[in-house]
Structure 1
């Protein structure tokens, strides 16, 4: 299966159909259902690291993927945290937005308005994970989807040690979205558009992505990249709205499975 909103196609377009790249998939779920990195691994020879804190999803992830798989929460420190283990919308309790709590309580059968059930989970910094698994100094694609802790994780990322070329960050239409954008733009990233509830960024460092400003418009197809069905050429993806997009309105908020 391919990604939910065409994130894998965006990455391939931004990196000119790159083969043999390296990814970091944070919130990888089972590694198959609407995975942002499965096509990159299986059809384009990428390697990388998948991080998934949910115990049952992690067991499926290990069975489904060939890359390094890590069962922990990414966070700003190496520690233990209280984790709301609510399937694909699980997240660190201290970072969980109130708007997500009712959905989590419903999934977990918890009392409406009460505290959601949590479990203790190990938390690790991105630096410690990248170092342990021998990540290269250039991360070609980082998929960041951690249900509320994205900004905290970004603030702790060792940008002095690693370069990220392409990045997608889930925002779920929450207030931190604008803060994430300001943070990344201050570090040399350009907002390239939105795919569903993910914002897409590319590094403006020389040589990081293909030349041109065409990343921020509708109709970024990947014909010839062999994404659909891992064989036939892609057909372009709707729903991508970026700077200068034709009719560039945001999609309506939707709850989704990663």
Structure 2
């Protein structure tokens, strides 16, 4: 609670996320759920600081697992986030051992989805720079190997595969208290759409929508919310 008070009273509320998602999640984890050093799983971590949903927590003493398929971005995360476990792999929704990863000229749009990479390439500002083969793991494998019993917070941003990954998660065994998931398609012609299937699936697994920044939706586990401290 002292950490939350310090964050809220600070004259500068610094967010590293795209739309302040980390501050919203911090209010949930520190304030409502009473956690002091929440653990996290950041899938599609992208960068150690910029557009990061987990750096705020790292900065305040937490640690977790960052998954990033881009070798150059992975190296940056590993250098900056020394307390974190960093994995240069992709998270798949099947038992496949590897997959093609499409490195885009705009790093934040790199994806395992060939369909999405081709769609991005239709915009003149984005091109496929390289296609590399990357090892795959499942989200269940990562949680089983690195958490006991599961992370408090999961951030998920994989440019097109988020729903498939969420559907592969064993919710009977693993109940992270908070998720932040990208729930809008990327476009440059204002034709973006909310991905309602993700929201519907999370609700079906007893997660409620706590906040929505339009780009990302923040979910909290229903039982954790009912047992909240404040």
TM-score, L = length of structure 2: 0.79
Q: Give the equivalent residue in structure 1 for 2:21.
A: 7
Shift of 1:96: 2.7
Q: Note the aligned Cα RMSD (angstroms).
A: 2.4
Q: Do the aligned residues in 2 keep the contact of 1:138 with 1:165 (CA within 8 Å)?
A: no
Superposition map of 1:72-91 within 5 A: 72-78=89-95, 79-86=97-104, 87-91=107-111
Residues 1:171 and 2:189 aligned together: no
Structure 2 CA distance, aligned partners of 1:180 and 1:104? 29
Q: Do the aligned residues in 2 keep the contact of 1:90 with 1:104 (CA within 8 Å)?
A: no
Q: Do the aligned residues in 2 keep the contact of 1:77 with 1:125 (CA within 8 Å)?
A: yes
Q: Do the aligned residues in 1 keep the contact of 2:44 with 2:68 (CA within 8 Å)?
A: yes
Residues 1:125 and 2:152 aligned together: no
Which secondary structure state, in structure 1, belongs to the residue aligned with residue 122 of structure 2? Answer: helix
Task: Flag structure 1 segments of 5+ consecutive residues without an equivalent.
Answer: 110-116, 213-258
Structure 2 CA distance, aligned partners of 1:167 and 1:4? 15
Shift of 1:211: 6.3
Shift of 1:172: 2.9
Superposition map of 1:76-155 within 5 A: 76-78=93-95, 79-86=97-104, 87-94=107-114, 96=116, 99-103=119-123, 106-108=126-128, 117-133=130-146, 135-155=147-167
Shift of 1:161: 1.5
Give the 4+ runs in structure 1 shifted more than 6 A. Answer: none
Structure 2 CA distance, aligned partners of 1:185 and 1:37? 23
Alignment length, in residue pairs? 203
The structure whose residues are more often helix, as a share, is 2
Q: Are residues 206 and 148 of structure 1, via their aligned partners in 2, closer, same or farther at CA, if it must alter by over 3 Å?
A: same
Q: Are residues 11 and 82 of structure 1, via their aligned partners in 2, closer, same or farther at CA, if it must alter by over 3 Å?
A: same
Q: Give the equivalent residue in structure 1 for 2:67.
A: 51
Shift of 1:77: 2.5
Cα deviations by residue, 1:10-66 (Å, 9 ceiling, x for unpaired): 1111123432111010111121112111110111x2121000001111111100102
Which secondary structure state, in structure 1, belongs to the residue aligned with residue 223 of structure 2? Answer: coil
TM-score, L = length of structure 1: 0.71
Cα deviations by residue, 1:120-161 (Å, 9 ceiling, x for unpaired): 11111011122222x022421111000000000001112122
Q: Give the equivalent residue in structure 2 for 1:71.
A: 88
Structure 1 CA distance, aligned partners of 2:198 and 2:124? 23
Match of 1:40 among 57, 77, 80: 57
Superposition map of 1:164-203 within 5 A: 164-173=176-185, 177-203=195-221
Which secondary structure state, in structure 1, belongs to the residue aligned with residue 195 of structure 2? Answer: helix
Q: Give the equivalent residue in structure 2 for 1:62.
A: 78
Which secondary structure state, in structure 2, belongs to the residue aligned with residue 39 of structure 1? Answer: helix
**Worse overlay, 97-106 or 16-25:** 97-106
